Amino acid sequence: MAGAENQSGAENGEQDSESIRRRLETLDGKLREAKGPSRPPVDTEGRGRAMGQAFKLSIELVAGVAVGGFIGWALDQLFGTKPILMVVFLVLGAASGIMNVIRTAKTMQGEPMPGHHLRTKAARDAVAKDDED
């Protein structure tokens, strides 16, 4: 700060603020170039929908196993065949859970279900038969 007491600073105030403004603008431009193009906005609604579908699939699988296990346990308690029916129904519950997950996943993807052409043909035939009557 040598010589600061000799100058008031009022004369160079506008020039200093103008040079600072120019330097800030150039710095801002350089920062924008360094950051690169801005990212596209995140689709939060689509992300939430996908997460909901994933939870739905996992709950269907777990529910199938849990219901099968509970039915097997209850039948084991009723008939006195301790582990046999529970194991059988756990396997059946797991199989039904997997089938539900596959069915739901195909529906979510918009793929036709197995036998879909038969159901739609039967529906068309029923409508055609009703029209004839």
Residue 109 lies in a domain: yes
Higher pLDDT, 66 or 6: 66
Residue 87 lies in a domain: yes
Structural domain of residue 86, as residue ranges?
Answer: 58-132
The Cβ of residue 60 has, within 10 Å, a number of other Cβ atoms equal to 18
Angle at 76 between CA 73 and CA 78, to 5 degrees: 110
For 96-129, how does the pLDDT look when each residue is reduced to its tens digit (9 = 90+)? 999 999 998 888 888 666 666 666 666 667 767 7
For 8-62, how does the pLDDT look when each residue is reduced to its tens digit (9 = 90+)? 555 566 778 899 999 999 998 888 888 877 777 777 888 888 899 899 999 999 9
Residue 34 lies in a domain: no
Number of domains in the chain: 1
Residue 68 lies in a domain: yes
